[in-house]
Homo-oligomer: A and B are copies of this chain.
Amino acid sequence: MKTVLCLSLLFFMTQTALSQTLTVHSPGHINAVTFILDDGVPFYEVNRLGTPVIQQSAMGFELQNQPALKDGFAILETEETTFDETWTQVWGEKKHIRNHYNELRVSLGEMTNLQRRLDIVFRVFDDGVGFRYEFPEQPNLQAFNIMDELTEFNLTGDHTSWWIGAYQWNRFEYYFEESPVAAIDTVHTPLTMQTTDDLFISIHEAALVDYSTMTLERTNDLTLKANLMPWADGVHVRAETPFVTPWRTIQLADTAGGLITSYLILNLNEPNKIEDTSWIEPSKYVGIWWEMHLDKSTWGTGERHGATTENAKRYIDFAAEHGFEHVLVEGWNIGWDENWYESGAVFSFTEPVDGFDLEGVAAYALERGTRLMGHHETSASIISYEEQMEDAFALYERLGVRAVKTGYVGHGQEIFWLDENGEKQFEWHHGQHMVRHHQEVVELAARHKISLNVHEGVKDTGLRRTWPNLMTREVAKGQEYNAWGQAGGNPPSHTLILPFTRNLAGPFDYTPGVLDLHFDDYRPYNRVKSTLAKELALYVVIYSPLHMAADLPQNYESNMEAFLFIKDVPVDWYDTQVLHSSIGNYITIVRKDRNSEDWYLGSITNEKGRLLEAPLSFLDPGKIYIAEIYRDGTFADWEDNPYDLEIVTKEVNSQTILPLRLATSGGQAIRFRPKN
């Protein structure tokens, strides 16, 4: 599938005394990267269909105790290859993914005595660009420390951008800001932008395996620069040749929805390394969780302890009756009675609290045809967790657990470890130290045939392709902020920004499905700021291969009609299409079930009501489908009348244009099943 091309059409090289230029186009001649070596200094730029998208931007590195790798280069060799392959996801939002790009590899060599080497590799796709640095094995560069990555993204205009700030105590858990780029300081990726003439750009990274998280710092009017979350000692990245950086990615689309159906980040990750994936199951779960967020019960022991054997069995019975594959039990282990959030290493990951019959509960779950979902809240005390985690995963494997939710609650910079002198070093949640930790956990979990649902972890960069047991993660503000967030609940627009930002990185355990939108008995100043139909539609709009039905069982039992959609909706898809997209405003996504001929539609809006038209062209032509429609009632309104839900069925076909009437902060969820 990989062939070396000599086509001059695809590959131009010009040379003057001082400047060399190489251009490579995407297979459909949509995007182009130009590499420039100007007087020994490397730069790149990106064009799309003849229009600049990234203007000439710097590349290179500052290193510790040795000269920078940023100038004095000559081009030793260049190679262009083309690659075209369609691969199959173990699970995901689309079964078959085409990975089609033209690659340009530029091997640079220093013209000084050191003669160090650096390769830069560009992959140019029709949906964007990825590039990374490769440090080959070489005599004058073995172990080395990166003090700064100089990669720039020099934008062409003051685009509207959606972002969360980096270097903050609450990690990634902030509401997205919408502002011109010029108002940005330092932000996390994916950073999604919309130009005044409606080009959509998202900058992120792929395959973050052993490196520091890249944030973006605005260093100049419209220039963003890679800013790596440093180690405690100021080093940005510890490396040893041969060494490769993550891919820096620039996704480009002419509609906001085009970013969602771009699989560039997955394509830039390594293929699946897990041979037997039969134990990796996209699935839904319930659990003892929302009741703690409501303060109906507690994580700690005592009268209101949530994780009692009896309560766990009640959830297991509910899961068994309604077909949920896992039952999460939080607060089951020793440590929650301590001041765990402040004091760190208090948790046991193998010992249940007195009175919680871990073995019995796990066995009861298996007996009833469901499974316990494990829970490891580390309180970001990594040393303590790393000491116990081998035993912890072994225990869960023995108990028949197939999925573990991990947690890393703790301030952004409170991960600590001991250096060679036994001194405590505080690390950022998203520095190289933690990236390595998470990689270790995913490989350990794989050996125990356990899938992960990581909360407060590092952002997703597509590693799920390589390690499909790394199923989902949080790493954004989820449902729980509706219970106790200071804003009284997530604003109606929050879930209208997530699909275009957080979800571009990968699956998100948002934990939707709270049907009791007010909880005055527990949290009178908070609520879910949406209609019932919108809450259902989130199962389709937000992709996760593990989706929770987050509400209390009694709230489903009293609303079985709406609950039916949550029971029906799959979490593993054959295909995904975006019908409507406007960042922060509205979105309509349709997805085809991977295991049947059914399609599902989710459409949601912000605080503004909408009337959208959905052509059902994705349906098989000539077939009649029954549409089971869960929609906002005529008088639905998120503030005053959020429970007004109409459930109707209707015959439709691929020619039908279905009006989607969405109330304020409303939605619509539809299952389409073939009539015969």
Complex alpha-carbon distance, A659 and B258, angstroms: 12
Q: Which residues of B contact A654 (CB under 8 A)?
A: 617, 621, 654-655
Does B610 lie within 8 Å of A49, measured CB to CB? yes
Tell me, rounded to whole Å, the shortest Cβ–Cβ distance linking A94 to chain B.
13
A634 contacts partner chain B, Cβ-Cβ < 8 Å: yes
Does A608 lie within 8 Å of B199, measured CB to CB? yes
Q: Which residues of A from 548 to 600 have beta carbons under 8 Å from B?
A: 577, 580, 582, 584-586
Q: Choose, from A70-78, A300-308, A661-669, the stretch at the interface.
A: A661-669
Nearest chain B residue, comparing its CB with the CB of A613:
B258
Does B49 lie within 8 Å of A664, measured CB to CB? yes
Does B621 lie within 8 Å of A30, measured CB to CB? no
Q: Which residues of B contact A608 (CB under 8 A)?
A: 49, 51, 197, 199
Complex alpha-carbon distance, A337 and B30, angstroms: 53
Q: Which residues of B contact A613 (CB under 8 A)?
A: 258
Does A49 lie within 8 Å of B662, measured CB to CB? yes
A489 contacts partner chain B, Cβ-Cβ < 8 Å: no
Q: Which residues of B contact A663 (CB under 8 A)?
A: 49-50
Does A655 lie within 8 Å of B617, measured CB to CB? yes
Does A609 lie within 8 Å of B197, measured CB to CB? no
Nearest chain B residue, comparing its CB with the CB of A28:
B661
Complex alpha-carbon distance, A612 and B655, angstroms: 21
Tell me, rounded to whole Å, the shortest Cβ–Cβ distance linking A493 to chain B.
8
Nearest chain B residue, comparing its CB with the CB of A664:
B50
Complex alpha-carbon distance, A209 and B560, angstroms: 58
Complex alpha-carbon distance, A48 and B659, angstroms: 15
A622 contacts partner chain B, Cβ-Cβ < 8 Å: yes
From known contacts A49-B608, A611-B49, A611-B254, infer whether A198 and B582 are also in contact, taking CB-CB under 8 Å: yes
Does B51 lie within 8 Å of A664, measured CB to CB? yes
Complex alpha-carbon distance, A420 and B198, angstroms: 57
Does B199 lie within 8 Å of A255, measured CB to CB? no
Complex alpha-carbon distance, A609 and B253, angstroms: 11
A212 contacts partner chain B, Cβ-Cβ < 8 Å: no
A377 contacts partner chain B, Cβ-Cβ < 8 Å: no
Complex alpha-carbon distance, A66 and B412, angstroms: 74
A2 contacts partner chain B, Cβ-Cβ < 8 Å: no
Complex alpha-carbon distance, A655 and B580, angstroms: 18
Complex alpha-carbon distance, A618 and B656, angstroms: 10
Complex alpha-carbon distance, A641 and B30, angstroms: 16
Tell me, rounded to whole Å, the shortest Cβ–Cβ distance linking A88 to chain B.
20
Tell me, rounded to whole Å, the shortest Cβ–Cβ distance linking A494 to chain B.
14
Mark A612-639 against chain B: 1 for CB-CB distance below 8 A, else 0.
1101111011100000000000100100
Does A606 lie within 8 Å of B197, measured CB to CB? yes
Mark A46-68 against chain B: 1 for CB-CB distance below 8 A, else 0.
00111100000000000000000
Mark A481-512 against chain B: 1 for CB-CB distance below 8 A, else 0.
00000000000000000000000000000000
User: A126, A258, A582, A608 — which one has the most chain B CB atoms within 10 A of its CB?
Assistant: A608
User: A49, A586, A612 — which one has the most chain B CB atoms within 10 A of its CB?
Assistant: A49
Contacting A29 at CB < 8 Å: which of B255, B606, B621, B634? B634
Does B621 lie within 8 Å of A254, measured CB to CB? no
Does A609 lie within 8 Å of B49, measured CB to CB? yes
Contacting A28 at CB < 8 Å: which of B28, B49, B618, B659? B659
Contacting A48 at CB < 8 Å: which of B580, B609, B618? B609
Tell me, rounded to whole Å, the shortest Cβ–Cβ distance linking A57 to chain B.
20
Complex alpha-carbon distance, A610 and B51, angstroms: 10
Q: Which residues of B contact A51 (CB under 8 A)?
A: 607-609, 664
A653 contacts partner chain B, Cβ-Cβ < 8 Å: yes
Complex alpha-carbon distance, A29 and B51, angstroms: 44
Tell me, rounded to whole Å, the shortest Cβ–Cβ distance linking A389 to chain B.
45
Q: Which residues of B contact A664 (CB under 8 A)?
A: 49-51
Q: Which residues of B contact A197 (CB under 8 A)?
A: 582, 584-585, 606-608
Complex alpha-carbon distance, A344 and B627, angstroms: 66
Q: Which residues of B contact A617 (CB under 8 A)?
A: 615-618, 654-655
Nearest chain B residue, comparing its CB with the CB of A612:
B254
Q: Which residues of B contact A199 (CB under 8 A)?
A: 608
Tell me, rounded to whole Å, the shortest Cβ–Cβ distance linking A580 to chain B.
7
Tell me, rounded to whole Å, the shortest Cβ–Cβ distance linking A497 to chain B.
12
Does A661 lie within 8 Å of B612, measured CB to CB? no
Complex alpha-carbon distance, A586 and B200, angstroms: 14
Mark A176-218 against chain B: 1 for CB-CB distance below 8 A, else 0.
0000000000000000000001110000000000000000000
User: A30, A50, A253, A615 — which one has the most chain B CB atoms within 10 A of its CB?
Assistant: A50
Q: Which residues of B contact A255 (CB under 8 A)?
A: 580, 612
Complex alpha-carbon distance, A50 and B662, angstroms: 10
Q: Which residues of B contact A198 (CB under 8 A)?
A: 582, 585-586
User: A29, A610, A612 — which one has the most chain B CB atoms within 10 A of its CB?
Assistant: A610
Tell me, rounded to whole Å, the shortest Cβ–Cβ distance linking A500 to chain B.
13
Q: Which residues of A from 251 to 273 have beta carbons under 8 Å from B?
A: 253-255, 258
Q: Which residues of B contact A653 (CB under 8 A)?
A: 621
Tell me, rounded to whole Å, the shortest Cβ–Cβ distance linking A615 to chain B.
5
Complex alpha-carbon distance, A51 and B582, angstroms: 18
Nearest chain B residue, comparing its CB with the CB of A578:
B613
Nearest chain B residue, comparing its CB with the CB of A49:
B609
Nearest chain B residue, comparing its CB with the CB of A29:
B634
Q: Which residues of B contact A634 (CB under 8 A)?
A: 29
Q: Which residues of B contact A612 (CB under 8 A)?
A: 254-255
Complex alpha-carbon distance, A617 and B657, angstroms: 10
Q: Which residues of B contact A616 (CB under 8 A)?
A: 617
Complex alpha-carbon distance, A664 and B50, angstroms: 7
Contacting A586 at CB < 8 Å: which of B254, B584, B586, B609? B254
Tell me, rounded to whole Å, the shortest Cβ–Cβ distance linking A207 to chain B.
25
Given contacts A50-B663, A197-B608, A254-B610, could you give 5 more A-B pairs where the C-beta distance is less than 8 Å? A28-B659, A50-B664, A51-B609, A197-B584, A197-B585
What are 6 A-B pairs with beta-carbon distances under 8 A?
Answer: A30-B661, A50-B637, A197-B606, A258-B613, A577-B615, A654-B655
Which 8 residue pairs spanning A and B have beta carbons closest together? A49-B609, A617-B617, A621-B621, A198-B582, A198-B585, A254-B610, A50-B664, A615-B617
